[in-house]
Chains A and B, each alone.
Chain A
Amino acid sequence: MPGRLDRRLLAEVRGARRGLAIAVATGLGAAVCIVVQAGLLARIVDRALLHHAAVAAVTPELVGLGAAFVVRALLQLVGEIASQKSATTITSELRHELLDEAFRLGPAWLAGERTGELSLTATRGINALNTYFGRYLPQATVALITPVGILAWLAAVDWPSALILLGLLLVIPPVIAAFTKRARQEAARRWRSLASLSARMLELLQGLPTLRAFGRQEHGRREVAEATESLRRGTMRTLRVSFLSALSLDLLAGLGTGLVAMVLGLRLLHGDVSLSLAMAVLLVSPEVFAPLRRASAEYHASAEGKVAAERVLDVLAQSRRQATAPHERPTARWSLPRSGANPTLATPRTTGTAPELSRSTIELVEVGVRFAGGVRALSGVNLVIAPKEHVLVRGRSGTGKSTLLSVLLGFVTITSGRARIGGVDLGTLDAAGWRELRRQMAWVSPRPYVFRGTLEDNLRMGNPELGEAAIERVLQRCGLCRVVSRLPEGLATPVGEGGAALSTGERQLVALARALLTDAPLLLLDEPLAHLDEETAATVDANLASALDGRTVLWAGHHVPTRRHFDQVLDLPTSPAAADPTTHGHRAPPPLSRTGSLRSS
């Protein structure tokens, strides 16, 4: 009885059908073995008991019986290995798609998610699907076929027993239906508890110093206690449903076997049935229920995987929606309202060819960004940036400077206006196009992330083939030398998570050096000097001139050294949320501009 989710999951199976088919075939083979075993066992007992046969007389049957066991063992072995192999193939593929999709949806989407929850889904949740594909699916198929087969055989050889078992079997579907619905609900609830425990736990692990500073570590402890208690309750509820369903199936199976044995006994008394047949029927009758019991157990065991799968498929479904309407990426909290989208944006064509940034003009016309909930992050921005121009984006805190840079990085989609680079509408770029475009950009994030690895690994991120000399030069330029000299192993010091802790200022220097070490023609600098002391900032700034020369620069920030000159200044209005202002980039007056670098406009 596959549900909607099962069908969606089955659609993912494609590449692994062979493994599943082998698993089902071996499962059915094993069932046949069990029937053969029962028949042979019964025949031997019959001949020995009623005909006083010697061992030699039943040797063929004994050999056959032994062979049936060996064949069954081998079939089980092969089936298990094949199904597990295909299951891990499917789950690897699903994990790949999930990560792919998460990155296609990008930072704006990720910002609305919980890291601990996402990582739980991508690791354990998807792993739990191995049980679904590797065990439940083949077992469920076997459970659909085996009872019918055995009943058919029974009906042919001993209809009264078949009738008893059929009667009990008919009770099973409603019982299973009742339990599976409950099981689904409970499993979903339990997964929510687990996900929130995971999300909370990660946040506590990363934020414990702050909690301790405020003397609130007990608060964190209480949260762990509550989350884990709610998980315990949820787990017990799911288990109770699973155990109850096993109980009812066990009861039916026990009742069936008992009834069949009783009736057979009575019929034997009257000589209505032969011993060998009675014995065979008795041995086979539990096998009518056993596959169902196993399938039900696997159903409950794989419930967690299914809930996680639902989450994965929901994420994946976003891209399918996106494929039909590329500009209406629905995201968790930053989702863009469909109605507010500008009709000019609705170009269905996408392209993988990005413009050459070193020769392209960036054109923003009446650009606006509005997040779900009506929060306007940017509105009416007009800016034309010629290649190699340096532009200062100014504005008070929260006026959308970072959002503007995010638009150019493709992290945020605009909701009104037009954004073009070299005549190519940014909305028409597909993933490959963005990759190509971003390859030509370097970015200093306002909150730089330092990756696990050595300091050198981090510096080479944008340009792995750099020579020592180039790194040395940029280190000088960025004032990183001091930092490096303090680190125990210099450039080879492990940094990032699990390495030496860097202060915010040091992280910023790393990010700046990392950006300058690329040969990207467009630099997006988001408050690059914010965390630096004045002396360091001045040194860095003085050294930046040659590094920025010949590149297009967008510098966002309020902390702008006085010596720096810009071709254009864009002043973002204080509160884009309040009115609907229009902002134009204005050419800097000649005294402010660098001599010789002010291009005619």
Chain B
Amino acid sequence: MNANVINANARTRRTNLEVLRTLVAISPPPWRRLIGAMLLGLAAAGTTVGLLAGSGALIDRAALRPGLATIAGLLAVVEVLAVLRAPLRYAERLHTHEAAFGALGHWRLWLYDRLEPLLPGALGAWRSGDLLHRAIDDIEALTDLYSRAPGTVGVAVAVSALSVVAVGSLLPLGAAILGAALAVAVVGSPLLAITGRTRVDERALAGQLTAEVVELVQGAPELLAFGLDETFRARAEATAERLARLERRRTRAMAAASALVVVCLGVAVVGTLAAAVSAAREHRLEGIMIAVLPLTAIGAFEAVAPLGTLAIRILDVLDAGRRLLALNEVPAPVSDPSNPVALHDSVPTPPEGVAVAFDDATLRYRLDRPPALDAVSFAVPPGSATAILGQTGAGKSSIVNALLRFWPLEKGSVTVNATSLEQMRQADARRVFALLDQDARLFAGTIRQNVALGRPEATAAEIAEALRAAQLDEWVRSLPNGLETPVGESGNQVSSGQRRRIALARALLVRRPVLLLDEPTTNLDDETADALIDTVLAAALGRTVVLVTHRSEDLRCMDQILTLDRGRVVATSHR
């Protein structure tokens, strides 16, 4: 009952600058690389302007038939610029993207490290599909922060300024017209583009869609059986449709932004041309420069065109960043002590049984609810076997959560060989226990991979031994591919009983002093279950055993039986 509900969609109001600063602080962009890329981009844009202006001048001058020598220089410039532009642009793009995708890897690990201490329990209101969307798409949206954003803005501004200055040296009026048109485009197109955004958090909606599809896939059997598949599919498709509508809106705004740029370009071309024509007639401008002005405008606008899209992308980066940083705000339920006791001080290696004791332990998931464990005290002597009984919801899983330090105690302590678990690093505390979890969760992979999850270095003989103790050896032998048979995602290609026993073999294989088995005999027939308890206790070999069970037959060989009710130990019996 980890009902620690935190509103996943509550967006903390961080300003854009704060978000940007935090993102950069967590994974700083490779500034030198970005500056290099920007210079390359500037050079590429410069060649575009130069090529257009240069060839215009070339043709105008040639039209006056001045002789080959006068235009030879221009000819050479035009050719060099024509050939230079492509490799410059190639180098720029490669440079920026190399930097960006390295950063994404860093972000995925950051996300994993954030999530790791929060599961299970602390991410109450979060859906795995939404988290998946954060891990894949939101992180990918950060690409623009590391690649295009800084360079494109820099290049656009620099090229605009330089073009205006260059035109200004020829004809101030032309510069004014070009400058005004560029200014409208530079400011107007991003503003127009971002009108495509609504107050709907598009990324949250996309995360919701992923979550809904994950639910569809994982809940498919029940949905089909209850005839609700169409309802749930319609729900997901409606979400997708809402997203598509938002995307169309975005496209409209971006298309309007690029249309604005084309209109501004038209104004610049017509304006500078008219100014040039009248200036040439009044001999304020050399005739051969008439074409240079509009062509410079065309070149300059090429650098300005991507700004609208870029504005949207930058806001995307901020939205995605917000969704990632939201994970920073979820407190981890348990943290490591500052001066941890080393594991080997309290726990022997190789493992033999250790003493486990609960002393007045109280555990509570939500302050407004009664405690899940209420002043629980009991002791498990080294090498003994203790069974925990209790009705559904009596607090059995909370015992497991307390032992594995998945959830902190409100009061009291849990000790292993008289050392409190709270004094150990969490990883060390967990190394005391070999767990068969209640859900018997398996991972996509083979039987071997799943059994050896906790000890990948285990030998074939050890794995065979664990399988035998889990009463699985016969079944595995009967499979055409034996141990290499895939179990499917979360083990959904094997039966419930087989899944549970694979999880049991996995627990038996790790050499840890306490076997903590949550319902090892569920989903098994009595014959198998009886044999299983015997072989498991034999395999325990002096290790301490804590068994959560429902079957009274499992209690035969137990040294101690505890009964829990509403988080309290209501009965204790010793053999």
Contact = CB atoms under 8 A, between A and B. Distances in A.
A103 B216 CA distance: 9
**Chain A binding surface SS class:** helix
Contact of A119 (B68, B129, B229, B248): B129
B437 interface: yes
Nearest to B213: A119
Contacts of A52: 280-281
28 contacts: A49-B64, A69-B263, A69-B267, A77-B258, A77-B259, A88-B248, A96-B233, A96-B237, A118-B217, A119-B213, A207-B441, A208-B116, A210-B453, A214-B454, A228-B105, A239-B94, A251-B86, A258-B79, A258-B81, A282-B56, A396-B525, A397-B501, A397-B523, A461-B222, A493-B3, A494-B5, A503-B438, A537-B550
Nearest to A100: B233
Given A333-B488, A445-B225, 12 more contacts: A41-B269, A73-B260, A96-B233, A119-B129, A120-B136, A202-B128, A213-B430, A240-B94, A244-B90, A397-B495, A411-B224, A504-B519
A373 B104 CA distance: 40
B489 interface: yes
B527 interface: yes
A493 B125 CA distance: 12
A205 B226 contact: no
A433 interface: no
Contacts of A44: 273, 277
A578 interface: yes
Contacts of B490: 203, 206-207
Contact of B131 (A122, A205, A531): A205
Contacts of A116: 132, 214
A483 B226 CA distance: 23
Nearest to B567: A486
A62 B273 contact: yes
B281 A48 contact: yes
A70 B266 contact: yes
B437 A210 contact: yes
A254 B65 contact: no
Interface in B519-539: 519, 522-528
B83 A251 contact: yes
A31 B270 CA distance: 19
B441 A255 contact: no
Which of B98, B105, B489 has the largest count of A CB atoms less than 10 A from its CB? B489
Interface string B179-208: 000000000000000000000000000100
A103 B234 CA distance: 13
Contact of A446 (B124, B215, B496): B496
A80 B257 CA distance: 12
Nearest to A134: B251
A88 B244 contact: yes
Contacts of A333: 486, 488, 493
Contact of A208 (B119, B228, B277, B528): B119
A580 interface: no
B381 interface: no
B136 A212 contact: no
B542 interface: no
Interface residues of A, number: 176
A541 to B, nearest CB: 13
B101 A84 contact: no
Which of A55, A214, A575 has the largest count of B CB atoms less than 10 A from its CB? A214
A3 interface: no
Interface string B344-385: 000000000000000000000010110000000000000000
B427 interface: yes
A119 B493 contact: no
A206 B131 CA distance: 10
B37 interface: no
Interface stretch (A152-160, A271-279, A321-329, A337-345): A271-279
A498 B127 contact: yes
Nearest to B519: A531
A451 B219 contact: yes
A85 interface: yes
B224 to A, nearest CB: 6
A498 B391 contact: no
A224 B78 contact: no
Nearest to A458: B222
Which of A48, A236, A333, A496 has the largest count of B CB atoms less than 10 A from its CB? A48
A535 B390 CA distance: 9
Interface string B84-99: 1111011001100110
Interface stretch (B26-34, B107-115, B151-159, B313-321): B107-115
B144 to A, nearest CB: 14
A461 B437 contact: no
Given A70-B266, A111-B493, A229-B105, A498 B8 contact: yes
A534 B215 contact: no
A275 B60 CA distance: 7
B277 A205 contact: no
Contact of A201 (B85, B136, B551): B136
Contacts of B573: none
A575 B128 contact: no
B369 A488 contact: yes
